Chains A and B, each alone.
Chain A
Amino acid sequence: MLILSVDTSAIASAALLTGQGETLAAFATEDTRSHAEVLAPGIGKIMTTADVTGADIDALVVGVGPGPFTGLRSGIATARSLAFAWDKPLHGVMSLDAIAVDAALDAWRAGVDEFVVATDARRKEVYWARYRSTGGTHELLDGPHVSAPSEVPDLPAYGMGAGLYPQQLRRVTEYSGTQPTAEALGRTAIVKLAKGLDLLDTAPLYLRESDAKIPGPRKRAL
């Protein structure tokens, strides 16, 4: 089995993984604001590196957020269009799972049962979700949510969101700069696909409405 995984919920990234969870090739940016430029070329490069064509790919997975709107849409629009053109199945994965998959193992080693994953939601807020680690495997308990850092449960916190708000979140230092990546996202998806579990559809998890306000009455000058 060959999976192409894409995530643009924070940074832009893509990875090609085997059914055993082995990474054949991966790319990731540092930047969170150039997804529309770099994503398609990045996918092209990893396919060349791994010597893979669209016909070789069995399924695609895409991170459906939560994440900043415009960037998030870049990945979903890209994945949907690739899946359409190649006529391959496409599944969605909640992007915070891409941090939880490694955090669960770290938590288990540290003897911690429950933890949170948090990423940058901008506007002084974080996207977060609460997980349980069972023998190093993550299980989503609550979320995803978007809120002020002060509203996040007082548990060990993994991910960039914890790194940004160390006063409010109990950050796990080694993971305080961690962002969701397509590589980690792909690993969580493969585990679920292998177990025959359902993945999500690709509807984006925006968690916020647009800021548009219905206009009030006209201002008068007279």
Chain B
Amino acid sequence: MNRTRPLVVGIESSCDETGVGIVRGDTLLANTVSSSMDEHVRFGGVIPEIASRAHLDAFIPTLEQALDTAGVTLDEVDALAVTSGPGLAGALMVGVCAAKALSLATGKPLYAINHLVAHVGVGVLDGGVLPENLGALLVSGGHTEILRVRSLTDDVELLGSTIDDAAGEAYDKVARILGLGYPGGPAIDKLAREGDPMRIRFPRGLSQPKYMGSAQAPGPHRYDWSFSGLKTAVARCVEQFEAAGEPLPVADIAASFQEAVADVITAKAMLACTEQGISNLLLGGGVAANSRLRALTEERCAAHGISLRVPPVSLCTDNGAMVAALGAQVVMAGGQPSGIEFAPDSSMPVTSVHL
């Protein structure tokens, strides 16, 4: 196997995106994504069984297109990589079975890759080697985490995460309350630009002293987030306007909600970075596309002397290229293949970069 600039096919199926990406070393050759998002719109959120059915239908066409775009054949590939977790169990199963079969059929080694760490690893495709003293802020429909990355391939630590809803999930729920449709992120982001973010002070979850503690004596949730109370606060706010017979200031509510999310995410991320000696931050996940989260992260990183790296949106949302990118890094670092007997792990911890 070529461990210098390996040609790696990466497969992603942990949520509603079927992704196949192909990289050579840290160079992106193809990033083909088929999304079942349209099928989830009427439900206001991702339905795991519908997503799993869509993965099965989309996988081979997505693979064919990625190979075609990259201009390579399976025979030329050095290694295969697949997301083995965390994610929706039934959805993961489709990508994992397909990847194992490809490995069996071609004799190519298979690497079972952590989806969250892959969101960090994708950074190498846009700007090359990741800096030292690295932290990663991952915000998506399924995740909200701050990680310390000592080594992309074998030393990743979870510093904090949401204890209930992911930030993107809160966007979807609030969009439903405000009648803005699914997915909620882009709709709220757009409307928020016309609203007053200071009109309503929505709660910043887990910010009270009993949760925060101090740098010397950290509380139980110093770097953690909670968004379920925020969603409820928006619902109560809407009801109060309705009960008073007043027109709903939808744009102001959207802006105030977005401000609360961006504020608490970045405030806690900055706290984690400054206290943990992190001087370089990577922002990833689908919510990295949110204009206010990006702006506030940039502003606060600059204020704290932290360098910020944000991959292009097509690499931030779920995709196969990130799996291929991290797979290639593991191959280059001399990592052992995972074989074809592993089980997908819907709650795979970030400490497990690959199986």
Interface residue? B191 (CB, 8 A) = no
* Contact with A37, one of B47, B52, B63, B343 (Cβ below 8 angstroms): B343
Task: Using known A-B contacts A36-B343, A210-B49, A220-B239, determine if residue A73 contacts B97 with beta carbons closer than 8 Å.
Answer: yes
The answer for the CA separation of A40 and B338 in the assembled complex, in Å, is 13
Residue of A whose beta carbon sits closest to that of B59 = A77
A-B contact pairs, 16 of them (CB 8 A): A36-B344, A39-B100, A40-B340, A70-B52, A70-B89, A70-B93, A78-B97, A78-B100, A80-B98, A81-B105, A84-B60, A84-B63, A84-B64, A86-B105, A210-B50, A214-B43
Indicate if B210 sits at the interface (CB-CB under 8 A).
no
A residues in contact with B47, CB < 8 Å: 210, 212
Which one, A73, A75, A86, A215, contacts B44 given CB within 8 A? A215
Which B residues from 31 to 65 make CB contacts under 8 A with A?
42-44, 47, 49-50, 52-53, 56, 59-60, 63-64
Q: What are the interface flags for B70-109 relative to A under an 8 Å C-beta threshold, 1 for contact and 0 otherwise? A: 0000100000000000000110011011111111111000
Known A-B contacts A85-B102, A215-B176; A69 and B49 likewise in contact (beta carbons under 8 Å): yes
CB-defined contacts of B89 to chain A, threshold 8 Å: 70
Which chain B residues have a beta carbon within 8 Å of chain A's beta carbons? 42-44, 47, 49-50, 52-53, 56, 59-60, 63-64, 74, 89-90, 93-94, 96-106, 176-177, 235-236, 239-240, 243, 340-344
Give Cα A218 to B174, complex, Å. 11
Distance of A76 Cα from B96 Cα, bound (Å): 12
Which residues of chain A have C-beta atoms less than 8 A from B98's C-beta?
77-78, 80-81
Complex interface bits, A51-71 against B, C-beta within 8 A gives 1, otherwise 0: 000100000000000000110
Residue A43 is within 8 A (CB to CB) of chain B in the complex: yes
Question: In the assembled complex, which residues on chain B have CB atoms less than 8 Å from the CB atom of A75?
Answer: 97
User: Given A73-B93, A77-B59, A221-B239: A210 and B53 within 8 A (CB)?
Assistant: yes
Q: What are the interface flags for A194-222 relative to B under an 8 Å C-beta threshold, 1 for contact and 0 otherwise?
A: 00000000001010001111110010111
Whether the Cβ atoms of A222 and B236 lie closer than 8 Å is: yes
Q: Is residue A34 within 8 Å, beta carbon to beta carbon, of the partner chain?
A: yes
* Residue among A43, A73, A75 facing the most chain B CB atoms (10 A cut-off): A73
**Complex CA distance for A41 and B52, rounded to whole angstroms:** 22
Contact B60 A81 (CB under 8 A): yes
- Asked whether, in the complex, the Cβ of A69 is within 8 Å of the Cβ of B52, the reply is yes
A residues in contact with B102, CB < 8 Å: 81, 84-85
> Are A43 and B104 within 8 A (Cβ)?
yes
> Is there contact, CB below 8 Å, between A76 and B101?
no
Q: Is A74 an interface residue (CB 8 A)?
A: yes
Q: Given the complex, which residues of B lie within 8 Å of A220, measured CB to CB? A: 239
Extra pairs beyond A41-B341, A80-B59 (16, CB < 8 Å): A34-B343, A39-B100, A41-B340, A44-B104, A54-B105, A69-B52, A74-B97, A76-B56, A81-B101, A82-B101, A84-B63, A85-B101, A206-B53, A214-B42, A215-B43, A221-B239
Chain A residues with CB under 8 A of B235: 218, 221
Complex Cα–Cα for A206 and B47 (A): 16
Q: Which residues of A contact B59 (CB under 8 A)?
A: 77, 80-81
Within the complex, the shortest CB–CB distance from B242 to chain A, in Å, comes to: 8
- The complex places the Cα of A37 from the Cα of B84 at a distance, in Å, of 11
Residues on B with C-beta less than 8 A from A35 are 93, 97
Q: In the complex, A35→B89 CA distance in Å? A: 13
- B60 with A80: CB separation less than 8 A: yes
List residues of chain A with CB within 8 A of the CB of B74.
85
Q: Which A residues are CB-close (under 8 A) to B103?
A: 40
From B90, B94, B101, give the contact of A40 (CB < 8 A): B101
A99 to B106, CA, bound (A): 32
Complex CA distance for A145 and B190, rounded to whole angstroms: 47
- Asked whether A77 lies within 8 Å of B56 as measured between CB atoms, the reply is yes
Shortest CB-to-CB span from B81 to chain A, Å, is 15
Q: How far is the CB of A155 from chain B (nearest CB, A)?
A: 32
Chain A residues, Cβ within 8 Å of B344: 36
Residues on B with C-beta less than 8 A from A218 are 176-177, 235
Q: Which residues of A contact B105 (CB under 8 A)?
A: 54, 81-82, 85-86
What mask results when residues 142 to 178 of chain A are scored 1 for a CB within 8 Å of chain B, else 0?
0000000000000000000000000000000000000
Task: Tell me which residues across on chain B come within 8 A of A41, comparing CB atoms.
Answer: 340-341
Which residue of A is nearest B64, CB measured?
Answer: A84
